[in-house]
Structure 1
Amino acid sequence: MKRVVLAGASGLIGTALAAALHARGDEVVRLVRRHSGPGTVLWDPASRRLDPGVLDGATAVVNLSGASIGRLPWTPRYKREILASRVDATSTLVTALTAARVAPEVFVSASATGFYGTRPREVLTEDSPRGTGFLSDVTAEWERTALRAGDVTRVAVVRSGIVAATEGVLKPLLLLTRAGIAGPIAGGHQLWPWVSLADEVAAILHILDGTLSGPVNITGPTAASANHLMRHLAGRMRRPFFLPVPGFALTAALGDAARDLLLVDQHPRPTRLLDDGYVFRHTTVESAIDAALRRGR
């Protein structure tokens, strides 16, 4: 049995990960900003406060904490919150890790494929350099902060793609599709990095139980375009897919959020996971969407 300290347990991935850990018999200690019952511990990442004793005896620490990038618009103030919420939480955990009497065996900290920026026609592995853009800047700082714990424990930073779940990125796409106004976004040929929720959770468990360290891409093993994803969603919902949305209109309305979320074009490959023997539950975006729709019913 593992004892896992989990930050960000109330989010989409954190909720599913906590359930998976409990299901296999592990103990989960959730870090919360307000007391909410047994199995929780108070912390204050904005003030960099966490008792290092909370980590004594823990097998692992998983950091999924950070303000949602799905909240729009990205005003200058909210962009500062996106960065600060990630760096503050990660720095708080790293400080506690280094001060613990016995450091946990592994620290898994979230990142995102936004690290790579837009890179058309380029297959991206964990060795690929960072790109440009707001999310690239955020993830680079986020990862630098997490890797400071490498002096005392194994550190893995997980560069996750778009998690296909009805509570996540599919939610606004479902609303558009249900309303019959879905269609190609800026042509729709840009590749979107995707992963099923089941594989996101299983890959994190694989890292906790294994020896991987450094950056790890958590993305589906086959490429898919925006049209590929949205057309299949429309087909499953028996709704039309025809209304195009020009890229310039999205950029004018949403700025960096449009460039980093909807217009991004990248193909990160989960090289290190595959080389380490991880077997994907969902190997195509169609399978991931079907699973998400079944789960969302």
Structure 2
Amino acid sequence: MRVLVAGASGLIGTELTRQLAAGGHEVVRLVRREPGGADEIRWDPAAHRLPVSAFDGVDAVVNLSGESLSRVPWTAARKRRILSSRIEATTTLAESMREAPRPPAVFVSGSAVGFYGSRPGVRLTEEVPRGTGFLADVTAAWEAAARLAPDGTRLVLARTGVVIGPGGAMKPLLPIAQAGLAGPIGSGRQHWPWISLHDEAAALVHLLGSELSGPVNLAGPTPATAGDVVGALAEALHRPYLLPLPSPAVKLALGQAGRELLLADQQEVPQKLTEDGFVFRDKTVRDAMARLIEARRR
């Protein structure tokens, strides 16, 4: 396939483009600077500028653009940017696809587990309705923008959880655990919907060739709590898991970001992926953490 990728330089985008190239696919990257070669096309999502010619010969589009959620605290300006960066990029892609003489066959657009809000005791399959909170509002608007894609283009909304990789959510946790300061965040019993970086990208590649459409949960096959995730990181680093970070301290230090990113209880279930035959390489959060630390030591 010829695959157009927005957000190719990010954590997930870098691994996705690597796996696509390894699989023999042709990758074209959207960039916001002067193109450095024939495999790059300049766009300006804030100005809704993307040449229709970008879709010439393109079989699939993957949209991973958006301001990082891990930049905290969430000030009013930051929250506006979190929302606008996703809406601008997704709307620009969808509207330009509609103008293309031959729209791509499939559009995989990023979304997040935040759609469900915090739902203690609920198995979050794709059938569960939208929750409440800032991230639920953001993801609902993000997915609505993606639905502007042409009717003939198969649309997949990739609702991603916590990605276990060298950046993203793990970036602030790694040095804390390395220093031996890791411990339960809040109660530690809230579910965190983890997935390894390898499986996140592999799932996106799978979705390009699948017949699935609509929301698809991207989370590991074995549920894990916050305690399981942070504990697995400490274990992989051979460091203690002792020092708690109580919920009041999380809320005081990080405000809404702490409540929705660290204290939310979200048992996301990859029901559609599993039923579609996707095979996870990293089946437990311990597997994912062990591979992450092994890769860092090379």
Normalised to the residue count of structure 2, the TM-score between the two structures is 0.97
Give the deviation of 1:108 after TM superposition: 0.4
Q: Give the letter for the 2:3 counterpart.
A: V
The aligned counterpart of 1:7 is 6
Q: In structure 1, how many angstroms separate the alpha carbons of the residues matched to 2:187 and 2:141? A: 32
Q: In structure 1, how many angstroms separate the alpha carbons of the residues matched to 2:34 and 2:22? A: 23
**Deviation sequence 1:148-173 (CA, Å, 0-9, x none):** 21513100010011000122222211
Matches within 5 A, 1:36-51: 36-38=35-37, 39-51=39-51
Pairing 1:273–2:273 present: yes
Give the deviation of 1:91 after TM superposition: 0.1
Matches within 5 A, 1:19-38: 19-38=18-37
Pairing 1:109–2:130 present: no
Q: Give the letter for the 2:287 counterpart.
A: S
Q: State the Cα RMSD in Å.
A: 1.0
Q: In structure 2, how many angstroms separate the alpha carbons of the residues matched to 1:41 and 1:270? A: 33
SS at match of 1:205: helix
SS at match of 1:65: coil
Report if aligned partners of 1:158, 1:217 keep a CA contact under 8 Å in 2.
yes
Matches within 5 A, 1:199-278: 199-278=199-278
Give the deviation of 1:259 after TM superposition: 1.0
**Deviation sequence 1:207-242 (CA, Å, 0-9, x none):** 101111100000001110111111121122121211
Relative distance call for 1:261 and 1:144 in structure 2 (3 A) is: same
The aligned counterpart of 1:133 is 133
The aligned counterpart of 2:196 is 196
Q: Give the letter for the 1:44 counterpart.
A: D
Give the deviation of 1:295 after TM superposition: 2.2
Relative distance call for 1:295 and 1:36 in structure 2 (3 A) is: farther
Q: Structure 2 unaligned runs (5+)? A: none
Quote the sequence identity (%): 53
SS at match of 1:131: coil
The aligned counterpart of 1:296 is 296
Pairing 1:183–2:180 present: no
Q: Give the letter for the 1:178 counterpart.
A: Q
Give the deviation of 1:37 after TM superposition: 1.1
Q: In structure 2, how many angstroms separate the alpha carbons of the residues matched to 1:5 and 1:121? A: 39
Q: Structure 1 unaligned runs (5+)? A: none
The aligned counterpart of 2:156 is 156
Higher mean alpha-carbon deviation, 91-100 vs 179-188, is at 179-188
Give the deviation of 1:60 after TM superposition: 0.4
* Equivalent residue pairs, number: 296
**Deviation sequence 1:5-48 (CA, Å, 0-9, x none):** 10000000001111111112211110000024111110000000
Report if aligned partners of 1:189, 1:226 keep a CA contact under 8 Å in 2.
yes
SS at match of 1:148: coil
Report if aligned partners of 2:62, 2:109 keep a CA contact under 8 Å in 1.
yes
Give the deviation of 1:186 after TM superposition: 0.9
Report if aligned partners of 1:97, 1:152 keep a CA contact under 8 Å in 2.
no
Give the deviation of 1:296 after TM superposition: 2.3
Q: Give the letter for the 1:187 counterpart.
A: S
Report if aligned partners of 1:149, 1:155 keep a CA contact under 8 Å in 2.
yes
Higher mean alpha-carbon deviation, 188-197 vs 171-180, is at 171-180
Q: In structure 1, how many angstroms separate the alpha carbons of the residues matched to 2:155 and 2:295? A: 31
SS at match of 1:109: strand
SS at match of 2:149: helix
Q: In structure 2, how many angstroms separate the alpha carbons of the residues matched to 1:121 and 1:176? A: 29
Q: In structure 2, how many angstroms separate the alpha carbons of the residues matched to 1:148 and 1:209? A: 21
Pairing 1:16–2:15 present: yes
Q: In structure 1, how many angstroms separate the alpha carbons of the residues matched to 2:294 and 2:34? A: 33
SS at match of 1:181: coil
Q: Give the letter for the 2:191 counterpart.
A: L
Q: Give the letter for the 1:37 counterpart.
A: G
Q: Give the letter for the 1:66 counterpart.
A: G
Q: In structure 2, how many angstroms separate the alpha carbons of the residues matched to 1:178 and 1:56? A: 47
SS at match of 2:148: helix
Q: In structure 1, how many angstroms separate the alpha carbons of the residues matched to 2:265 and 2:296? A: 27
Q: In structure 2, how many angstroms separate the alpha carbons of the residues matched to 1:61 and 1:232? A: 34
SS at match of 1:187: coil
Q: In structure 2, how many angstroms separate the alpha carbons of the residues matched to 1:280 and 1:178? A: 27
